[in-house]
Amino acid sequence: MSLWSRIGNVFRGERLNREIDEELEAHLLEALAEGRDPAEARRAFGSIMRHREESRDARLVTWLESLRSDAVFGLRQLRKTKVTSLAAILSLALAIGACTSAFRLIDAILLRPLPVANPDKLYDLTREGIGPEGKPQTFDGWAYPDFQLMRAAVKDQAELFAVSYAEPVDLTYKSDEEIEKAYLQYVSGWMFPTLGLRPALGRVFTENDDLKPGGHPYAVLSSDYWTHRFGQDPKVIGRTFRMGNELYEIAGVVEAPFTGTEPGTMVDIFVPTMMNPAVTRKDSTWHRTLAMVKPGAAMEAIRQKLEATSRAFEEERAKGFMGMSKKEIDNFLNQKVLLEPASNGVSDMQSETRRPLAVLGALVVLVLLIASANVANLLTAQASARAREMAVRVSIGGGRWRLIQLVLVQSAWLALLAAAIGGLFAWWSGPFVVSMINPPDNPARLILPSDWRVLGFGLLLALAVTLLFGLAPALRASSVHPVSALKGGEDPHSKRRLMHALIAVQVAFCFLVLFVAGLFVTTFERLSHQSVGFSADRVLVVDTVAKTPQPVEFWEQVAEHVGSVQGVEAVALADSPLLGGSGWNNFISVNGAPPNGVLSYMRAVSPGWLEAMKIQLIDGRDFRPGDAHPGAALVNETFAKTYFDGADPVGKAFDLSLDEGASLHYEIVGYVRDVRYRNLREPILPQLYVPFHSVDGKGASGKRGAGVLLVRTSLANPRSLASVLRQEVPRARPEFRVSRVRTQLEINQSLTVRERLLATLAFFFAIVALLLAGVGLYGVLHYSVLQRRREIGIRMAVGAQAGIIARLVTKEVFSMVLLGAAAGVALGMLSVRYVETLFYQVRATDLEMLALPSLAILVGALLAALRPVTQAVRIDPASMLRAE
Amino acid sequence: MAKPDSLQGSMDLLVLKILSRRPGLHGYAIMSAIQDISGEVLRVEEGSLYPALHRMEEAGWIRAEWITKDTGRRARLYELTAAGKKQLGMEESRWQAVTLAVNRVLREA
């Protein structure tokens, strides 16, 4: 059997065999019906097997042969026009590569199912309702006691399990000298059996590992962590690490590739929920609740049971609420419980990047369409050059389908070559893009496999692109009329019309890409250049921890010691860094009046903090030694506006309302300028700073286990002090360790990572789109000049001026550019609504946002037109007419 | 292994001609028709008929269709396509040219 029929076997072998057999069988039956002797008929017929093979060959090989010869011919055609083919392949490769790498990212974050049993039965419990600010909000955090009640309530229909929000923690393996970071997640012990996860080593948790608060100091590692931290050492079982005051023993390693339920965060260490200090608290919503629904269970029934159980729990708790209005409590209780599908996990990264990724996806698709239009135009131009060849093929009997196949095979070559190069590009750029999203000290770690999903996507894309840009030229080529084509060409305008339409489409898409890119770049510019109210230059943020909480005096000694290190200009202590993302808040009561419902955001800082962060003091004074929390306070401008109608609040007093009716009294000693609190987008919050030095009711100093040292250095590169500080801190007091050193600048920049990513990629795609559209425009103009050489020659011979010729050549194309740009504006206005939330202080209707892309397209079009127009004007009528 | 009565070279012509006159024949009927009309002089090698039919089908000269007969059995019926008509014309003129040439040789040699 020949190679080709073997290949054919794959596509349509079995059915074909059956058909041939049936037909041969029918022949013999026919012979018998005529009264022939069965043995004679069979003998006359010969070997069925042999005939079957001959028939098969006849029916398969011709088709495969034609495909093969088309493939060879198509490749030869491409090589004949090396430069144009290469340009087409490269532009397509860029577009396909961008698409594939966008797909890899989108797939890894949003689409890929978790590597667990029955991911499609997995749901995330979420509450939806009206938040304290009167706006709709959803939140999927739960308190453990509530979770326990809900789990029992739906025991028969679904298995609920708790997973905490994965977070980096400080831990030590050998001595306390070496603190390292690892991502840790508290999980219900029965999560492992529920998700069908098996150990790669040792054991994983079960229900029995998660029974008693604080009673199960065991850990399960992820395979990934076991590999990169321990080199897959089997002796890791039984080793211990210290986290906080607790010593944990490693019980096992869970099989790869499971790394938790949060795409974007790869969990290193799993510990039982019972080890979380908040596990008994009713007011701390520190974990997600996932539900594995049993087959056949009714979702709505489960949902209602959960809602009823959770409501009963919160109603009981709400009896003790203070400082909330009746309406707020009602809103809180009336929250609806939802079951959101979680087959691909749940993470903040998903919700944060869903829209940006969708925008990026749309941009790369537009770029792909622009590139496809280019290739379609190239093929159309080529097809017109090949009109004679096609006409000959038709007149010697080439069927219409044969010709379509011929052109499509050539497009497939282009697409496949482009997909191969694009694949390489995607393979390289995927991790590169991920590294761009990563803040240096807190990397988002993603599984980015290049598996059959990505390969399948790439091939599908190549196929779609082949049909997209190959079909029109193919149909056109195959409908060639031999007589008119051989006589010297059919209507030349019909081809130009198609090309012109594609130009308009390209310009429209290009405008859209430029427009959106402009908006993102402006957003990033405005966001990153706005004032934060303090100076981040040369400031190191030194996260410091103590084995056990230490008296604040010891913290002050450490700060004092660090202040004496060479290169340090100023040092201050705080509970958390500015713009670090976290915060705490309280209601304020002025003159004993009830709180006005606006939360004030707090930070504990030491004397010298204002100076270290270069925050301007408007009135009053900084903290000084002797000030304590509670007692003295600094407040910002928004605080004064919110609670004191904007009057200078120095010397005034207020109370912090705590839970259960208690309150703390403060006197305002200083009035400072506004600074940004946790992020760059929200309005400035009312802020209140209290002394780092805390005292309890009896006047004894408070203790702290963790804090940050803010170190303003005199060095251009403050990081060079990091290792010195790591040594100096324990030298000041042996109980203290540095767990992490960042620069304040890094913290600030990490807040615009998403915007920077969008701006950079959108800008990149805008350049590519402009380039591709320019190339396309050039190609079409060039082609039309070539085609109209004779006409131009004649016009010039009868006295047409260069200007008229230029207008003649460019008029149609430029009207297409205008049409395309107008369509682009309309498209932009329509589509931008879906991404408005991603913008900052910029609007789609801003004039410059529309003017810039228009200008870019105009300049691009002029540049593209320059050469073809010069060519047209330089046509020498005499030689042209002679040549004809 | 060519048999003395094989129709090498002219099978296509005969099949196309038969189908041009009587569209919708199955393989056995085509074979019978060739034998009947030629007065049993031309005998189609039964086995080689089908590969030939399939080859012509793939070349686009004839097309086939499965039908279910009254007896419940399925049969594959063939008919000429437009390309087949052209092909028949070409084959006929080629045949005329060849027989003319052979006759001339027989007459004048």
Cis peptide before A625 (omega within 30 of 0): no
More confident residue, A519 or A80: A519
Write down the pTM of the prediction: 0.69
How does pLDDT run across A183-229, given as a tens digit for each residue? Answer: 999 999 999 999 999 999 999 999 999 999 989 999 999 999 999 88
Residues 6+ apart with CB under 8 A from B70: none
Q: What is the structure's pLDDT at A448?
A: 66
Would you state the structure tokens that stand for residue A517, as one six-digit string?
């890119």
Q: Please give the Cα distance from A544 to A740 (Å, whole number).
A: 7
- CA nearest to A382, candidates A319, A463, A307, A470: A470
Residues A689 and A602: beta-carbon distance below 8 Å: yes
Given an 8 Å threshold on Cβ–Cβ distance, is B58 in contact with A58? yes
Given an 8 Å threshold on Cβ–Cβ distance, is B28 in contact with A27? yes
Average confidence (pLDDT) over A857-877: 86
Average confidence (pLDDT) over A800-814: 84
Q: What is the structure's pLDDT at A223?
A: 93
More confident residue, A374 or A855: A855
Nearest CA in chain A to B26: A27
Q: Please give the Cα distance from A762 to A776 (Å, whole number).
A: 21
Given an 8 Å threshold on Cβ–Cβ distance, is B46 in contact with A44? yes
Q: Virtual CA dihedral for B72, B76, B82, B85, nearest 10 degrees?
A: -120
Residue A614: other Cβ atoms inside 10 A: 14
Residues of A in contact with B26 (CB under 8 A): 26-27, 30
Q: Does B104 touch chain A (CB under 8 A)?
A: no
How does pLDDT run across A97-138, given as a tens digit for each residue? Answer: 888 888 888 888 888 889 999 999 999 999 998 876 677 888
Q: Which amino acid appears at position B13 of this protein?
A: L
Tokens 């409908």: give the residue.
A479
Average confidence (pLDDT) over A765-780: 86
pLDDT band at A662 (very low <50, low <70, confident <90, very high): confident
- CA nearest to A505, candidates A817, A88, A769: A817
Q: Does B69 touch chain A (CB under 8 A)?
A: no
Query: Can you state the angle between helices A847-873 and A802-831, rounded to 10 degrees?
Result: 150
Residue A252, pLDDT > 90, answer yes
Average confidence (pLDDT) over A134-160: 90
Dihedral sign (CA A133, A138, A141, A145): positive
Residue A11, pLDDT > 60, answer no
Residue A615, pLDDT > 60, answer yes
More confident residue, A592 or A691: A691
Q: How far is B90 from chain A (nearest CA, A)?
A: 12
Q: Please give the Cα distance from A552 to B88 (Å, whole number).
A: 106
Average confidence (pLDDT) over A557-581: 91
Tokens 């408007």: give the residue.
A618
Q: What is the structure's pLDDT at A759?
A: 86
Given an 8 Å threshold on Cβ–Cβ distance, is B46 in contact with A20? no
A294 secondary structure, DSSP code: P
Would you state the structure tokens that stand for residue A204, as one six-digit string?
């994983």
A276 secondary structure, DSSP code: S
Q: What is the structure's pLDDT at A10?
A: 45
Q: What is the structure's pLDDT at A807?
A: 86
How does pLDDT run across A73-105, given as a tens digit for each residue? Answer: 778 877 777 767 777 788 888 888 888 888 888
Tokens 């202590």: give the residue.
A573
Q: What is the structure's pLDDT at A846?
A: 82
Average confidence (pLDDT) over A365-373: 88
Average confidence (pLDDT) over A302-315: 92
- CA nearest to A179, candidates A187, A165, A169, A191: A169
Q: What is the structure's pLDDT at A446?
A: 65
Q: What is the structure's pLDDT at A447?
A: 64
Stretches where chain B sits below pLDDT 70 are 1-9
Q: How far is A56 from chain B (nearest CA, A)?
A: 8
Given an 8 Å threshold on Cβ–Cβ distance, is B46 in contact with A46? yes
Q: SS3 of A752, please?
A: coil
Q: Please give the Cα distance from A438 to A434 (Å, whole number).
A: 7
Residue A591, pLDDT > 70, answer yes
Q: Does B22 touch chain A (CB under 8 A)?
A: no
Residue A850, pLDDT > 60, answer yes
Nearest CB partner across the interface for B83, out of A50, A62, A397: A397
Residues of B in contact with A25 (CB under 8 A): none
Residues A631 and A621: beta-carbon distance below 8 Å: no
Q: What is the structure's pLDDT at A2?
A: 40
Q: Does B37 touch chain A (CB under 8 A)?
A: no
Nearest CA in chain B to A64: B58
Q: What is the structure's pLDDT at A498?
A: 77
Residue A657, pLDDT > 90, answer no
How does pLDDT run across A23-72, given as a tens digit for each residue? Answer: 888 888 888 887 778 787 777 776 666 767 677 666 666 667 777 777 88
Kindly list the distances between the CA atom of residue A648 and the CA atoms of A598, A645, A653, A666, in Å, as whole numbers in the listed order.
Answer: 19, 9, 12, 16
Exposure of A716 by Cβ count < 10 A (0-12 exposed, 13-18 middle, 19+ buried)?
exposed
> By a Cβ cutoff of 8 Å, what residues of chain A touch chain B?
19-20, 22-24, 26-27, 29-31, 34, 44-47, 50-51, 54-55, 57-59, 62-63, 397, 399
Mutate to test the interface with A, among B30, B46, B76 (most CBs of A within 10 A): B46
Q: What is the structure's pLDDT at A495?
A: 66
- Paired residues of A601 in beta bridges: A585, A687
Residue A634, pLDDT > 80, answer yes
Nearest CB partner across the interface for B50, out of A31, A51, A63: A51
Q: How far is B77 from chain A (nearest CA, A)?
A: 10
How does pLDDT run across A473-506, given as a tens digit for each residue? Answer: 777 766 666 666 555 555 556 667 778 888 899 9
A211 secondary structure, DSSP code: S
Residues of A in contact with B50 (CB under 8 A): 20, 23-24, 27, 51, 54-55
For chain A, percent of residues with pLDDT exceeding 70: 89
Q: What is the structure's pLDDT at A633?
A: 92
> B50: number of CA atoms within 13 Å, CB side?
28
- CA nearest to A59, candidates A4, A98, A102: A4
Nearest CB partner across the interface for B74, out of A22, A44, A54: A22
**H or E element at residue A86:** helix A82-106
A308-343: buried (b, 16+ CB within 10 Å) or exposed (e) per residue? ebbbebbeebeeeeebbeeebeebbeebebbbeebe
- The separation between CA A484 and the C-alpha centre of its own chain, rounded to angstroms, equals 54
Given an 8 Å threshold on Cβ–Cβ distance, is B75 in contact with A26? yes
Query: Chains A, B: CB contacts under 8 A, how many?
Result: 63
Q: Please give the Cα distance from A622 to A624 (Å, whole number).
A: 6
Q: How far is B109 from chain A (nearest CA, A)?
A: 36
Architecture of domain B11-108: Orthogonal Bundle (1.10)
What mean pLDDT is reported for chain A?
A: 83
Query: Can you state the angle between helices A38-45 and B46-59, rounded to 10 degrees?
Result: 50
Q: How far is B103 from chain A (nearest CA, A)?
A: 30
Kindly list the distances between the CA atom of residue A133 and the CA atoms of A301, A358, A595, B31, in Å, as whole numbers in the listed order.
Answer: 31, 29, 14, 90
Q: What is the structure's pLDDT at A4?
A: 45
Residues of B in contact with A51 (CB under 8 A): 47-48, 50-51
For chain A, percent of residues with pLDDT exceeding 90: 27
Q: What is the structure's pLDDT at A56?
A: 66
Residue A286, pLDDT > 80, answer yes
